[in-house]
Homo-oligomer: A and B are copies of this chain.
Amino acid sequence: MTPRTTDADELAEQPRIPLSRRRVLRAAVRLADRDGIDSLTMRQLAQELGVEAMSLYHHVANKEAVLDGVAEVVLGEVMVAVDEVEAPSPDADWRAALRARILAAREVFLGHRWAPQVLESRTTTNPLVIAYYDRVVAILRAGGFSFELAHRALHVLGSRALGFTQELFRPDGTGTPDEEAAALMEQMADRFPNIVGMLADAVHDDPDGTLGFCDDQFEFEFALDLILDGLERRRAAGS
């Protein structure tokens, strides 16, 4: 137990600040940021607030509601971030307008690495997700998209519209890239010749390894631009 400045400590000295849904959810986000999403339990959340677990149930219905709530907090940050971004008007350049907002949204998720997993675990669509996509559609419409093509665009973009993707194939990012890669390739060379060739080539392209093995930001922007290209092409074709 390392001493930290938590609400619990503060409350021991100050008169008790009453609990509220908002305070509960902000504490939940803080806890997930600090200790990981698996540490977000009702009991640990209560401790973070200097309160008993059962007190939480006066402000949130149950744990599912807490998870809906932390999604809400993160999406609230996203809405602020995309509002503040500097970008051309959608009427002038829909691509630049959308691209800038998506990359701004991405920044928020880089600060809450657990958030994609939580968002994808929700069974009902969060109203703020609808609000966000509503604005994406607005930008596409301003850019000359039909409702139909805008609909297709949402499906193509998927969570990438919010600035993140969940990849299944991630060449283990822990440790120094070069060492890891060398050891791994030795073992895998005969089983996975194409992957090994590909990764060897990627290392060669980036000999000093400062960008890491896969530069996520670069890959994200490459993929986003490829998709925006494809959408613009179909828009121009009037499909």
Which A residues form the contact surface with B (CB < 8 A)?
117, 119-121, 124-125, 127, 129-131, 133-135, 137-138, 141, 146-148, 150-152, 154-156, 158-159, 162, 165-172, 188, 191-195, 197-202, 205, 214, 219-220, 222-223, 226-227, 229-231, 233-234
Contacts and interface: CB of A to CB of B under 8 A. Distances in A.
Given A119-B168, A125-B169, A134 B194 contact: yes
28 contacts: A117-B120, A119-B168, A125-B168, A127-B191, A129-B169, A130-B169, A130-B188, A130-B192, A131-B192, A133-B195, A134-B194, A135-B194, A137-B195, A137-B197, A138-B194, A147-B198, A151-B199, A151-B214, A152-B219, A154-B169, A155-B214, A156-B226, A158-B223, A159-B166, A159-B167, A166-B166, A227-B230, A229-B233
B130 A223 contact: no
Contact of A137 (B127, B134, B198, B227): B198
Contact of A134 (B125, B156, B193): B193
A189 to B, nearest CB: 11
A134 B193 CA distance: 7
Contact of A205 (B119, B148, B226): B148
B158 A166 contact: yes
Contact of A151 (B134, B167, B191, B198): B198
A76 to B, nearest CB: 15
Contact of A131 (B150, B167, B191): B191
Nearest to A165: B158
A168 B172 contact: no
